[in-house]
Amino acid sequence: MKHIKESLMRSVFFTTACISIAAVILICIFLLASGVPAIREIGFFNFLTGTKWKPANNLYGILPMIVGSVYVTAGALLIGVPTGILTAVFMARFCPKSLYGPIKASVNLMAGIPSVVYGFFGLVVLVPFVRNAFGGRGPSVLTASLLLGLMILPTIISVSETSIRAVPQSYYEGALALGASHERSVFFAVLPAAKSGIFAGIVLGLGRAVGETMAVKMVAGNQPVIPGSILDGVRTLTTNIVLEMGYSTDLHRGALIGTAVVLFVLIFIINISLSLFKRRVR
């Protein structure tokens, strides 16, 4: 009976794994079959390096959206990664027990807040703050980066804290035995040992930042031009798709699916690069 149950569960796990792989393959086939012909018609280099996105004039250059995605994602990582890692260190090694429960609950609550609610918060709070504090119109690269940095915090904090707690206690005790203080033991013995898990949290946060659409759409300004400063409006690849897909037809629709192809390839390259970097660091 036990052998039958094990065989059954092995079959179930294998089937679900095959379904996941098949879903990814089908998505790739759809994107390539629908987007590549449009990219070929527009011209590969014209599509990737063009600076004008004017569907009415048959101009489909997505360079401003690529630059916008890179700027917003980089800004979110600059804000979210240090904050998330330091928060995780505090929760794992410095936080009093009386505070840990409320902080952990707050982090879990942040993870469950819908993107549109984050976007509304950014529109009502962050946009006026940036406009009054730094100038400009408000919706900008800086505003989108601040909001995305806030949104990726739960992922980075949760994964990093779990990784830090998984480090054997002997690492910490060994550092103390060598004369290190509590702080030095944590930052120079425990934290380096947890870098693999922390790196995984950063990669997950990066994926959330690159793929976010609704919240960015509400605070970024949605201007299909290359921003001259962090206070200028910007349009990302994801917002470009969601803004125009509802009324697009023919080549315009194909260009938007081609944008999704570029986004897919960009995320794939980022993940491969980070995996290679992680392996090299090891």
The per-residue pLDDT for 282 is 58
Same domain membership, residue 214 and residue 84:
yes
Alpha carbons 182 and 226: distance in angstroms, whole number: 47
Same domain membership, residue 43 and residue 105:
no
Tell me, yes or no, whether 232 lies in a domain. yes
The answer to whether the beta carbons of residues 156 and 88 sit under 8 Å apart is yes
Q: Give the amino acid at 140.
A: S
The answer to whether the beta carbons of residues 233 and 140 sit under 8 Å apart is yes
| Token representation of residue 126 | 């962050």
Its pTM stands at: 0.85
Same domain membership, residue 257 and residue 204:
yes
The answer to whether the beta carbons of residues 204 and 155 sit under 8 Å apart is yes
Q: Quick one: 267 exposed, middle or buried, by C-beta within 10 A (0-12, 13-18, 19+)?
A: middle
Q: Residues near 124 by Cβ (< 8 Å), separated by ≥ 6?
A: none
Query: What residues make up the domain containing 99?
Result: 62-281
Same domain membership, residue 17 and residue 140:
no
Same domain membership, residue 33 and residue 93:
no
Same domain membership, residue 154 and residue 45:
no
Count up the domains in the chain and report the number.
Answer: 2
Tell me, yes or no, whether 220 lies in a domain. yes
In the block, residue with structure tokens 């599509």: 47
Same domain membership, residue 104 and residue 41:
no
Same domain membership, residue 67 and residue 10:
no
Q: Quick one: 6 exposed, middle or buried, by C-beta within 10 A (0-12, 13-18, 19+)?
A: exposed
Task: Provide the CATH number for the domain around residue 207.
Answer: 1.10.3720.10
Alpha carbons 263 and 227: distance in angstroms, whole number: 19
The per-residue pLDDT for 204 is 85
Backbone angles phi, psi at 53, to 5 degrees: -115, 95
Tell me, yes or no, whether 101 lies in a domain. yes
Average pLDDT per block of 10 residues along the chain, 282 residues long: 77 89 88 85 85 85 89 92 93 89 90 89 91 86 92 92 90 86 88 86 86 86 85 88 82 88 84 73 58
Alpha-helical runs (H) found in 44-96: 44-49, 63-89
Q: In angstroms, what is the C-alpha Rg of the chain?
A: 22
